[in-house]
């Protein structure tokens, strides 16, 4: 009983700091936020997929198969066999790291179309109450937007609040690849916002890809907006523990393993980790093993779950950014009893390279046009380290 009481007090302290620092809508949700159900299992259809022996061979188990085995499996299929699997198991194929990129895009269009039809049927069902029908209408609209011409949906899972990842650029040809890992409130309904686009993963990824093309128009690049894990909702209990990050980190690592066999950039993909997304990146970092270090950029970070960059392992180069008006700087940087995310990545003691953020404002302004942070993020993603600007060392 005493432990639960202390935990409630600490959660209130974390959320209270954020509320005092930012009176916006996200902060107002803090007291009402509910714990989210993390998604760790493969998508719908996986059980039937594993039990399907119609091709005369075992299909790779989505829960255990590594990306290399998945790639080898699809390389051995005929066109007719591939088409049948896409039609029968679109959610499995569309979310299977290691499967061919174009095949995943196609499978996800099938899965999204099915979700739109399902949601529209619910919206028209008069046996449901008005709230359920309104939610179904919103789900149908959010999903339908993903079917617009030219969109490349790398992953789609309608469970819960909805998971979705999108590619900007030609991932198969890209010489430089970046993965945007978002924080709280990222889901299907908030994936791509017309109003305040930089509050959404797709909007941030578009901004980064545009800046990359401006800096290096002759370099093929791709940016992935990765909402591949269940994020915290608001600033409630999930935002101050690593529970969702612990489940999200293996999913991020599987994405990277899949990219290693389906794309061929000149360097490992850069991870740009916003807010709670930096907790996911910090949790995943020790398991990243490449022949060259992976650049990991933590911006607007509440901490990465460690005391120093050295704790993240030799497989990463850590960069950090926080602008002076970001309310996240008022959140306690500590870890106690499973609450909090460790040391401030922007401090000298942490050991990351601190990036200049001139022009950026607030928690979501790091990729605004003309900001030093956006220029720096693109320069790091492009490997143009000599163009990166830092915070003066005397600060």
Task: Indicate whether 175 pLDDT > 70.
Answer: yes
pLDDT above 70 for 1: no
Phi, psi angles (nearest 5°) of residue 92: -70, -55
pLDDT of the residue at 393 = 61
Task: Give me the pLDDT at residue 335, please.
Answer: 73
Length, in residues, of the chain: 395
Q: Mean pLDDT score of the chain, rounded to an integer?
A: 91
Higher pLDDT, 335 or 46: 46
Of 334, 274, 267, the closest CA to residue 295 belongs to 267
Chain position carrying tokens 């095949």: 103
- Share above pLDDT 90 across residues of the chain, in percent, rounded to a whole number: 84
Identify which has the larger pLDDT, 308 or 339.
Answer: 308
What pLDDT, in 10s, does the model give residues 28-40?
444 444 789 999 9
Indicate the pTM of the whole model.
0.91
Domains of the chain (ranges; CATH) run: 2-39+160-387 (3.40.50.1820), 46-134 (no CATH)
How many CB atoms sit inside 10 A of residue 147's CB? 13
Q: Using an 8 Å Cβ cutoff, are 221 and 209 in contact?
A: yes
Q: Which of 286, 372, 369, 370 is nearest to 322 (CA)?
A: 372
- Beta-ladder partners of 271: 179, 296
pLDDT tens digit string along 93-131? Answer: 999 999 999 999 999 999 999 999 999 999 999 999 999
Tens digit of each residue's pLDDT (9 = 90 or more) over 50-72: 999 999 999 999 999 999 999 99
Mean pLDDT of 291-305: 94
């Amino acid at each position: 009983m005493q432990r639960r009481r202390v935990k409630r007090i600490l959660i209130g302290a974390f959320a209270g700091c954020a509320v005092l620092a930012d009176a916006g809508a996200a902060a107002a949700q803090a007291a009402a936020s509910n714990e989210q159900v993390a998604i760790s299992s493969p998508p719908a259809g996986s059980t039937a997929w594993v039990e399907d022996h119609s091709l005369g061979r075992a299909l790779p188990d989505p829960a255990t198969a590594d990306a290399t085995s998945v790639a080898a499996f699809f390389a051995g299929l005929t066109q007719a066999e591939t088409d049948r699997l896409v039609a029968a198991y679109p959610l499995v194929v569309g979310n299977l790291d290691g499967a061919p990129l174009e095949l995943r895009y196609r499978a996800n269009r099938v899965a999204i179309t099915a979700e739109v039809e399902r949601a529209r049927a619910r919206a028209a069902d008069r046996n449901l109450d008005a709230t359920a029908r309104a939610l179904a209408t919103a789900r149908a609209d959010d999903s339908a937007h993903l079917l617009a011409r030219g969109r490349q949906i790398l992953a789609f899972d309608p469970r819960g609040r909805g998971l979705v990842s999108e590619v900007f650029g030609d991932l198969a040809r890209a010489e430089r690849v970046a993965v945007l890992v978002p924080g709280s409130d990222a889901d299907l309904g908030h994936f791509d916002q017309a109003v305040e686009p930089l509050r959404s993963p797709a909007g941030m990824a578009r901004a980064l890809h545009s800046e990359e093309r401006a800096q290096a128009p002759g370099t093929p690049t791709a940016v992935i907006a990765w909402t591949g894990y269940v994020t915290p909702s608001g600033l409630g209990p999930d935002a101050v523990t690593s529970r969702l990050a612990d489940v999200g980190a293996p999913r991020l690592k599987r994405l990277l393993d899949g990219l290693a066999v389906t794309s061929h950039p000149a360097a490992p993909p850069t991870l740009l980790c916003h807010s709670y997304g930096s907790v996911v990146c910090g949790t995943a970092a020790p398991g990243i093993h490449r022949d060259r270090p992976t650049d990991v950029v933590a911006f607007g970070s509440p901490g990465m779950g460690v005391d120093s960059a050295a704790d993240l392992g030799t497989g990463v180069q850590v960069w950090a950014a926080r602008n002076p008006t970001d309310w996240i700087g008022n959140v306690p940087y500590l870890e106690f009893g499973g609450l909090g995310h460790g040391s401030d990545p922007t401090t000298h003691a942490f050991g990351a390279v601190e990036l200049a953020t001139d022009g950026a404002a607030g928690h979501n302004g790091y990729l605004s046009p003309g900001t030093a942070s956006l220029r720096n993020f693109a320069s790091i993603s492009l490997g143009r380290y000599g163009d990166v600007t830092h915070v003066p060392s005397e600060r």
